[in-house]
Structure 1
Amino acid sequence: MKLSDIIEENEIITVVGAGGKTSFINYFADFYRDKLKVLLTTTTKIYVPSDYDNIILTIDGTAIPSICHGVTVCGSYINNENKVVGINSSILDEIVDKFDLVLIEGDGSKRKRLKGWNDGEPVVYHKSTKTIGILDITSFGMNINEENIHRLDIFKKIASVDTYNISSNSTVSLENLKNIVLNPNGLFKNYSGKRVLFINKVENEKYKNLAIKLIKNIKEYESEIEIFYGSIKQNFCIRY
């Protein structure tokens, strides 16, 4: 399958997690830009995308123009970090019907491959038809430390890291990754619509085998999550 098979038109997608959210959203925005009216926005903050057709900055949701085909970026304003600051759900309610596809980044990870979620995260739009969680398979085996993981202390709780035996050499296990997906305070906390897991960066046989093993572990406990593995960079996915 191509990556494009995961999302169709007339969907409202909130993407959460770490290890490829922005690349995932940008892929679909580019794929559909000549076919649909695409809204690209955030409920948190995102760097200003490098490629778009229109940009709307609105504090109160007024003066939304007629939208042409292509990718429209929408936010409240651009801050001094060159980030688009998101719009609240009431404004989204007013504009989503103007678009054929809505892509929302609902999570922040400080560009790290794993994270823990605080009380207000992720921020999933309540009309989302799918909540797509991104999980970076290359995080398996990396050291459990502040350098690699955003909100490390919260991550340890969600992932059920053995804090009594943890050391500077402790690494992320498949059990930790499974717990991130299944914990009610983890990847799909606050989800809306169908839950879809995309295991990213499966770009060699080692990571393919790890992804399949992880999926089997998840499926032992949860059958309702639709799971794909593949690579955004290489534009392929497999539905398990």
Structure 2
Amino acid sequence: MELSNIIGKNEIITVVGAGGKTSFINYFADFYRCKLRVLLTTTTKIYVPDNYENIIMTIDGTVIPSICHGVTVCGSYINNENKIVGIDSSILDEIVDKFDIVLIEGDGSKKKRLKGWNDNEPVVYHKTTKTVGILDITSFGMNINEENIHRLDLFKKIVNLDTYNTNNDSTVNLENLKNIVLNPNGLFKNYCGEKILFINKVEDEKYKKLAIELIKSIKEDKSKMEIFYGSIKQKFCTRY
């Protein structure tokens, strides 16, 4: 089915994880821009998006004006890396009612496909109605090292790997990916509202089989979450 079916109007969505967060948010911003009043923001830091109708920084106490259809990007300020620095929850509380859908990036991964989470991550807005966790299936088989994984030592703890004995030849397996999803300190740590797992980059039969095998393993835990697999790039998904 179309990726757009995952999220409708009157939702506050916080997206966490690695391997497609920004693409996921940008897809929905583009999909709804002509239909709804869309707020695109962050509780951490994001690069300034390429496409929007309004951009508002609140460092000077700017009041959010009446908003028409389109995408409004909001943050505290833009830093010297051309990143928007997020706004805190008190400001979000004042403005979310002005929009039909709110898209929040609540996690950072340094453009790596997997990560571990420190004590303050992810930053999920307390009025979030759906927390969407992105998991990159192409990380299966990837070497477990600093080059590939953000906050490597924390990742190893979450997936129950021995921090000291893991060597450079160790690779990511399905049990590791399952642990990322189900560990209380993993993907859905600090979640609010409904949990939605999106397994991204399922773009051929190999990764489809892996995704289905992973989902079956996750389902054994009886954890309450909706699970989809598909491709943000190709704009499709399947509910399992």
TM-score between the two structures when normalised by the length of structure 1: 0.98
> What is the Cα deviation at residue 88 of structure 1?
0.1
How far apart, in 1, do the equivalents of 2:117 and 2:182 lie? 13
> What is the Cα deviation at residue 145 of structure 1?
0.1
**Superposed CA offset, 1:195-218 (max 9, x none):** 000000000000000000000000
Alignment correspondent of 2:82: 82
**Superposed CA offset, 1:87-136 (max 9, x none):** 00000000000000000000000000000000000000000000000000
Alignment correspondent of 2:63: 63
How far apart, in 1, do the equivalents of 2:140 and 2:205 lie? 14
Alignment correspondent of 1:237: 237
**Superposed CA offset, 1:15-47 (max 9, x none):** 000000000000000000000000000000000
- Which stretches in structure 1 are left out of the alignment for 5+ residues? none
Alignment correspondent of 2:176: 176
How far apart, in 2, do the equivalents of 1:124 and 1:104 lie? 8
Match of 1:175, SS? helix
Instruction: In structure 2, give the amino acid aligned to 1:2.
Output: E
Alignment correspondent of 1:33: 33
Instruction: In structure 2, give the amino acid aligned to 1:64.
Output: I
Alpha-carbon contact 1:60-1:91 (below 8 Å) kept: no
Cα pair distance change 1:6/1:61, threshold 3 Å:
farther
Alpha-carbon contact 2:153-2:163 (below 8 Å) kept: no
Alignment correspondent of 1:103: 103
How far apart, in 2, do the equivalents of 1:190 and 1:134 lie? 15
2:188 matches 1:152: no
> What is the Cα deviation at residue 60 of structure 1?
6.4
2:36 matches 1:16: no
Instruction: In structure 1, give the amino acid aligned to 2:23.
Output: S
Q: Which moved more, 1:41-50 or 1:222-231?
A: 222-231
How far apart, in 1, do the equivalents of 2:39 and 2:128 lie? 13
Instruction: In structure 2, give the amino acid aligned to 1:135.
Output: L
2:211 matches 1:221: no
Match of 1:181, SS? helix
Number of residue-to-residue matches in the alignment: 240
> What is the Cα deviation at residue 162 of structure 1?
3.8
Alignment correspondent of 2:54: 54
Match of 1:5, SS? helix
How far apart, in 2, do the equivalents of 1:209 and 1:162 lie? 28
Alignment correspondent of 2:91: 91
Runs (4 or more) in structure 1 with deviation over 3 Å come to: 162-165
Match of 2:210, SS? helix
Match of 2:104, SS? strand
2:140 matches 1:140: yes
How far apart, in 2, do the equivalents of 1:163 and 1:116 lie? 13
Alignment correspondent of 2:123: 123
How far apart, in 1, do the equivalents of 2:171 and 2:38 lie? 40
Alpha-carbon contact 1:59-1:87 (below 8 Å) kept: no
